[in-house]
Amino acid sequence: MKHLANKIAVVTGGTRGIGRAISLALAESGAHVYALYARSRKSAEALEEVALKKGLRITTIRGDLSHEESYSRTVRQLHESCERVDVLVHSAASGVHKKAMDLSERHLKWTFEINFFAVHKLTTELIGKMSKGSKIIGITSPGGTRVIPKYAAVASTKGAMEALFRHYAFELAPEEITVNLVCPGLVMTEAAKALPELEQMLNMTLDYTPSGHLTTPDQVAELVRFLTTDAARQIVGQNIIIDGGKGLLA
């Protein structure tokens, strides 16, 4: 039997890029996945179509998690649809690409709203539906601990998220709810394609990656899937890097 049969998973940013691969991997393991997204209905419909063809249970829910009204609507829908939540994956992120000295308070607040406050609001909102054996997984970035040019805003939110998740992990472990982070290196998603100086970053990443390959969304999804298995229950509060070894040389 598939290990997530009869389980419910919520994946934010679950319709595109890394989140999309995670939604598919968890659904393939038997979960009914609620894939949340903000704007791109086309990506959501494309995912639903793939799910239908493969006989997977994926329901997409549209709502900008950084916007109070649509956040409340999304949460209401989740409460109505999910009697419990066994897996919660935070993959949604957005942000302003500027040098630190060019960041206004507004830029930072906006980036924190989606990448940090929405993560905490949703976790605390859904924690009542999680029980022994549930998993919370956050997708962070090497920017959480290192410098990536013009990444100061997103990097700050990822650093804050990592600190918050350490406390989640510590507080929830006694209840047998496991919390971990997955930290991919550069993955060529639409978001990555929008990075400033992409070509330079791509060349540098390939030069300094001992495996010689970029990380793919499916590889990240496989790691997330493993973290939802019983075999991973003793992995608690870790930030697992999946980058082909690039971090070894940084």
CA gap 180, 43 in Å, rounded: 27
Q: Looking at 75-83, 86-94, 119-127, 224-232, which segment touches ligand NAP (CB under 6 A)?
A: 86-94
Measured between its terminal Cα atoms, the distance across the chain in Å is 42
Judge residue 105's burial from the number of C-beta atoms within 10 Å of its C-beta, 0-12 exposed, 13-18 middle, 19 or more buried.
exposed
Residue 241 found at the interface with ligand NAP (CB under 6 A): no
Site string for ligand NAP, 119-158 (x = CB under 6 A): --------------------x-x-----------------
User: How many residues lie near ligand NAP (CB under 6 A)?
Assistant: 30
Transcribe 164-228 into DSSP letters: HHHHHHHHHGGGT-EEEEEEE----SHHHHTSTTHHHHHHHHHHT-TT-S---HHHHHHHHHHHT
Window 154-193: residues binding ligand NAP (CB under 6 A):
184, 186-187, 189-192
The correct pick among 7, 8, 9, 13 for binding ligand NAP (CB under 6 A) is 13
Q: Which stretch binds ligand NAP (CB under 6 A): 35-43, 79-87, 102-110, 229-237?
A: 35-43
User: Is residue 11 near ligand NAP by the rule CB under 6 A?
Assistant: no
Give the burial class of 163: count Cβ atoms within 10 A of its Cβ; 0-12 exposed, 13-18 middle, 19 or more buried: exposed
Min separation Cβ 152 and ligand NAP, Å:
14
Q: How far is the CB of 197 from ligand NAP (least distance, A)?
A: 14
Q: What is the distance between the alpha carbons of residues 166 and 218, in angstroms, rounded to a whole number?
A: 25
Stretch that binds ligand NAP, among 76-84, 92-100, 123-131, 164-172 (CB under 6 A): 92-100
Taking the complex as a whole, the smallest distance from the CB of residue 63 to ligand NAP amounts, in Å, to 6
Instruction: Show the tokens assigned to 211.
Output: 């495996």
**Active site residues per annotation:** 151, 158
If you compute the radius of gyration of the chain from its CA atoms, what whole number of angstroms results? 17
Rounded to a whole number of angstroms, the minimum distance from the CB of residue 167 to ligand NAP is 19
Q: Is 43 in the site for ligand NAP (CB under 6 A)?
A: yes
Smallest separation, CB 3 to ligand NAP (Å) = 23
By C-alpha distance, which of 193, 207, 209, 199 is closest to 244?
Answer: 209
